[in-house]
A and B are shown apart, each in its own frame.
Chain A
Amino acid sequence: MNDNIKSRIQQIMGRYPRKESALLPALMLVQKENGNNLTKELVAEVADVIGVSLSRAFGVATYYSMFNVSRPVGKYHLQVDTNIPATIMGAVEIFNYLSDKLGIKHGETTPDGLFTLSKVECLASCGTCPVIQVNERYYELMTKEKVDMLIDSLRKGIMPDLPVEYNWGTLCNVLLKNRGVENAKSIAVYKQLGGYKTLTKALKMSPEEIIQAVKDSQLRGRGGAGFPTGIKWGFVPKNTGKPVYLICNADEGEPGTFKDRQILAYDPHLLLEGMIISAHALGCKQAFIYIRGEFGWIAEILEKAIDEAKQDGQLNDLSIVVHRGAGSYVCGEETALIESLEGKRGLPRMKPPFPAIEGLYGCPTIVNNVETLASIPYIVEHGADAFKQWGSKAGYGFKLFGVSGAVNKPGAYECPMGISFDELIEMAGGYKGKIKGVIIGGLSVPIVTPEELKKGPGLKLDYESPAEYGTSLGSGGVMVIGEEFTMPEIAARTIQFYHHESCGQCTPCRLGSTMMTQLLEKIADGNGQEGDIERVLWLCNNIRGNTLCPTGEAYAHPVITMVTKFRDEFEAMIPKKA
């Protein structure tokens, strides 16, 4: 490691209240400078510069999937996402095509050292799957032709620009108001469109007034759990003598979800304005944006926006640091996220204490989703009543949905809370072909069959109606599964994801997901045995609700519904004894 890198690491350390927080960005930097590979020697040097034990640094380096430790990768690391939304949008064919074309399998590198091929998990690009991440760059809506173009170009040493057309739409014109405006991500354009006016207004309000407005709006967290935001803010203890931290959760890890990036990449100042107002309300002087590691280019957009806002005098005495994760779904869970931000393995903490009382560095901390924070300016500007013009007591306001799978226009849509499921599907261009099932709130919620959808008053997308259909709103990632897929293969791929992501610290999740994966793969491959289905259900029922963090629940519940609602398909895969 040369002195230049060392001093850059020291610079990163200076950004954080505690230097250990620099561990992830430092490892990321060193890996990048070393041709996308991390060696034991480099990990040891980073540990030394930052002043943490070697075991801790190595534990961190091997925890996150983006660090290539003792697993060298070629010049171009082709990472094909094959998670459920990707699979139902044809990613497996793309993977196989690439594999044949390059003559290598998952995890292998071509003899010339040019390409490494990997199957990876959801990249928060589900509406534009199949997606291939090449080193830090996304190539979306891939077809075989585009794969040919990509490989030809990479062989010449050029990262090509390949065209992508995104589908999106809005019925509320708040969160996606600037989505179609050219360069809305620059502060000049954002201000021309009226940006940062609400901040001026908010700074004249007292923190209590703002918190009250958020409480009155009944805004509920858009990260998946739906906890009332104003109430959460009210938990922050006063006068503890400790700083208060605000963390924006931009991990966007839930498969099927690609909504936050619509704000992050196209309207970053909307998020910043929301964060500055929220920080003012919370008495916070140091805020963070924890962004998933794969979103490297979006992290740069955010950093630039923060610089602009600072130059423009919008930040006042608030500092906002963009912190990149490094490949871990569980780090979207707020306490794991906090651990990760502290430069540790992303292991969820036991609750209580809740982060609002004891969070980052043991201090009061509010973690909110991107969409939640981006909703704040509207509430402060127009008041709680204006916010409540949309939706009902089952959930107010506007909400972003991502639709992927078997629809004609997969994409991101901003709709009033409580919009009917059919209307959303209509916006997304309607179903493509016959449907086997839908998952409406990200992969962690139970699947609903087309027959169930036809029953009752009609599914509405809010915090109450989905419960009547045995599911929940989750993050608003809607996946439409076409008829051509079998449920055992969907279930097996689902559990593979959670198994890959399990942080490993609690027994039921670590080994339960391992056993479920082995059983469901066996069944999907036609090698199942009598009793296997019951064993899967027994595991689900005992894992559910009994793990340290909600991840166990997040897969046990959907898998139960896949197995029970489509039991015939599973039974049919088990060879009968003669």
Chain B
Amino acid sequence: MESTFKIYINGKALETSAGKTVLDVAREHDIYIPTLCHHPRTGKAGKCRACLVEVEGLRGLKESCALEVRDGMSVKTHTEQIQEVRKMIVELLLSNGEHNCIACEKNGHCELQDMAYHLGIERPGYLLDYERITLDESSEGIIRDANKCIECGRCIKSCNNNVMHEVLDFGWRSDHMRVICDDDKPMGESTCVQCGECVQVCPVGALTFRYAKGKGPYWELDKTKVICTYCGVGCSIDMFTKDNKFVYSLGTEENWQDQTNKGMLCVKGRFGFDFLNREDRLDTPLIRKNGKLEKAGWDEALDLVASRFTDIKAEHGPGSIGFFTSARISNEENYALMRFARGVVGTNNIDHCARL
């Protein structure tokens, strides 16, 4: 059994176990430590310095996102010194670039906005001379606004280590540093496959979904956990909808380790659901009656199919029936249909489309 011990955060004793970070424990107990460069799926980075905390017996402030807990460790998360450092970080980020929240897609779930809110910073005290970077609207699904980028590197790590498309990296250095696609191409001309993983991990509004623009602020959207219907992998999706209309999909972040897709999605799961919003989408089976397709219930439709199969088999033999399955259903469903074709209907006529 895992041995547990106590650590103290702001004087409160908390039970925990080895291998966790101070940030993990704080989050489990709803203690807010701001973070910008850490993401559960890209790990610690140590870049933003927002998560610094004070640890008894250790010199200087430490990154809570990287610091592993030790028995009896005593941590303070909100001393005056820490808050002052955090204020500086937010001031610096807000003073550089363009951080106008009003019409930003990330308004309401932006990690920088949260941090500024908690520190009570409405506008920075000093503005840096800053050269505006033109929007990158070259790609099908993603809008890149480098003026909002805080150089946390999460998109880069996820592109290279999670989905492994190796499109993104940082170019240049110091305050000229920015995210590049290939050798600084517009995203639409680069080797980007539009999986959208980078958008999902971006803490701010620097990367957003083109199709979600203006469809409604975060707090007006409903989140529903669904399984992607595109292939047998069965990726778990958090589908965001407004008034029952699809807005965008994210790979499910909650318990991402337990999902087959580990929080990631491919271009289809990400962007392929706009058909849900079409007026002419089928939502019941249709049965042709007197030459016209008419809405029907599932029982009626399945009964009809079963009786017609039985008739056709009796009249023309099982060889006259064939089955065609799909990559959009699971292995188990494909297997079941194979058993049905061979064992119940008695035909070997079964094939598969093998692509989406």
Which chain B residues in 147-180 approach chain A with CB under 8 Å?
Answer: 150-151, 153, 160, 166-177, 180
Residue in A closest to B125 when the chains form the complex, CB atoms = A535
Stretch at the interface among B16-24, B89-97, B231-239, B302-310: B89-97
Stretch at the interface among A50-58, A94-102, A457-465: A50-58
The binding surface of chain B is classed by DSSP as loop
Tell me, in angstroms, the Cα distance from A40 to B95 when the chains sit together: 32
Inter-chain contacts of B93 with A (CB < 8 A): 507, 511
Q: A546 with B170: in contact, given A511-B175, A515-B128 (CB under 8 Å)? A: no
Q: Does A63 contact B (CB under 8 A)?
A: yes
Which chain A residues in 479-518 approach chain B with CB under 8 Å?
Answer: 499-508, 510-515, 518
Inter-chain contacts of B44 with A (CB < 8 A): 350
Residue in A closest to B129 when the chains form the complex, CB atoms = A518
Q: Does A539 contact B (CB under 8 A)?
A: yes
Whether A508 contacts B180 by the Cβ 8 Å rule is no
Q: How far apart are B154's CB and chain A's nearest CB, in angstroms? A: 13
Tell me, in angstroms, the Cα distance from A40 to B126 when the chains sit together: 37
Tell me, in angstroms, the Cα distance from A510 to B153 when the chains sit together: 14
Which chain A residues in 112-157 approach chain B with CB under 8 Å?
Answer: none
Q: A546 with B168: in contact, given A512-B88, A515-B95 (CB under 8 Å)? A: no
Q: Does B250 contact A (CB under 8 A)?
A: no
Residue in A closest to B68 when the chains form the complex, CB atoms = A352
Inter-chain contacts of A59 with B (CB < 8 A): 169-171, 180
Tell me, in angstroms, the Cα distance from A518 to B128 when the chains sit together: 8
**B interface, how many residues as a size bin?**
35 or more
Tell me, in angstroms, the Cα distance from A538 to B87 when the chains sit together: 11
Q: How far apart are A358's CB and chain B's nearest CB, in angstroms? A: 14
Tell me, in angstroms, the Cα distance from A411 to B2 when the chains sit together: 62
Q: A546 with B183: in contact, given A350-B46, A350-B63, A507-B47 (CB under 8 Å)? A: no
Tell me, in angstroms, the Cα distance from A505 to B92 when the chains sit together: 14
Q: A538 with B191: in contact, given A511-B128, A518-B128 (CB under 8 Å)? A: no
Q: Does B145 contact A (CB under 8 A)?
A: no
The binding surface of chain A is classed by DSSP as helix
Q: Does B198 contact A (CB under 8 A)?
A: no
Q: Does A542 contact B (CB under 8 A)?
A: yes
Whether A63 contacts B61 by the Cβ 8 Å rule is no
Q: How far apart are B33's CB and chain A's nearest CB, in angstroms? A: 15
Which chain B residues in 171-202 approach chain A with CB under 8 Å?
Answer: 171-177, 180-184, 191
Q: Does B52 contact A (CB under 8 A)?
A: yes
Whether B169 contacts A508 by the Cβ 8 Å rule is no
Whether B84 contacts A542 by the Cβ 8 Å rule is yes
Whether A508 contacts B172 by the Cβ 8 Å rule is no
Q: Does B49 contact A (CB under 8 A)?
A: yes
Q: Does A170 contact B (CB under 8 A)?
A: no
A55, A350, A502, A538: the one within 8 Å of B180 (CB): A55
Whether B85 contacts A542 by the Cβ 8 Å rule is yes
A54, A350, A501, A508: the one within 8 Å of B174 (CB): A501
Whether A510 contacts B46 by the Cβ 8 Å rule is no
A58, A499, A535: the one within 8 Å of B175 (CB): A499
Residue in B closest to A40 when the chains form the complex, CB atoms = B183
Whether A502 contacts B174 by the Cβ 8 Å rule is yes
**A interface, how many residues as a size bin?**
35 or more
Q: How far apart are B262's CB and chain A's nearest CB, in angstroms? A: 21
Which chain A residues in 31-61 approach chain B with CB under 8 Å?
Answer: 40, 43-44, 53-59
B49, B66, B174: the one within 8 Å of A499 (CB): B174
Inter-chain contacts of A507 with B (CB < 8 A): 36, 47-50, 89, 92-93, 150-151
Q: How far apart are A111's CB and chain B's nearest CB, in angstroms? A: 27
Inter-chain contacts of A62 with B (CB < 8 A): 171-173
A499, A500, A508: the one within 8 Å of B88 (CB): A508
Whether A512 contacts B174 by the Cβ 8 Å rule is no
Residue in B closest to A532 when the chains form the complex, CB atoms = B126
Whether B183 contacts A58 by the Cβ 8 Å rule is yes
Tell me, in angstroms, the Cα distance from A542 to B95 when the chains sit together: 16
Q: Does A545 contact B (CB under 8 A)?
A: yes
The 9 closest A-B pairs by CB, nearest first: A504-B177, A55-B169, A53-B166, A511-B92, A59-B169, A58-B183, A350-B46, A542-B88, A514-B175
A-B CB contact pairs (8 Å), 23 listed? A40-B183, A53-B160, A54-B182, A55-B167, A57-B183, A345-B173, A350-B46, A499-B174, A501-B174, A502-B173, A504-B176, A506-B47, A507-B49, A508-B88, A508-B89, A512-B92, A515-B95, A515-B126, A535-B125, A535-B126, A542-B84, A542-B88, A546-B49
Given contacts A55-B168, A507-B47, 18 further A-B contacts (CB under 8 A): A40-B183, A55-B180, A58-B169, A59-B169, A345-B170, A345-B173, A502-B173, A504-B174, A506-B48, A507-B50, A508-B85, A508-B88, A510-B175, A511-B175, A514-B96, A514-B174, A515-B128, A546-B49
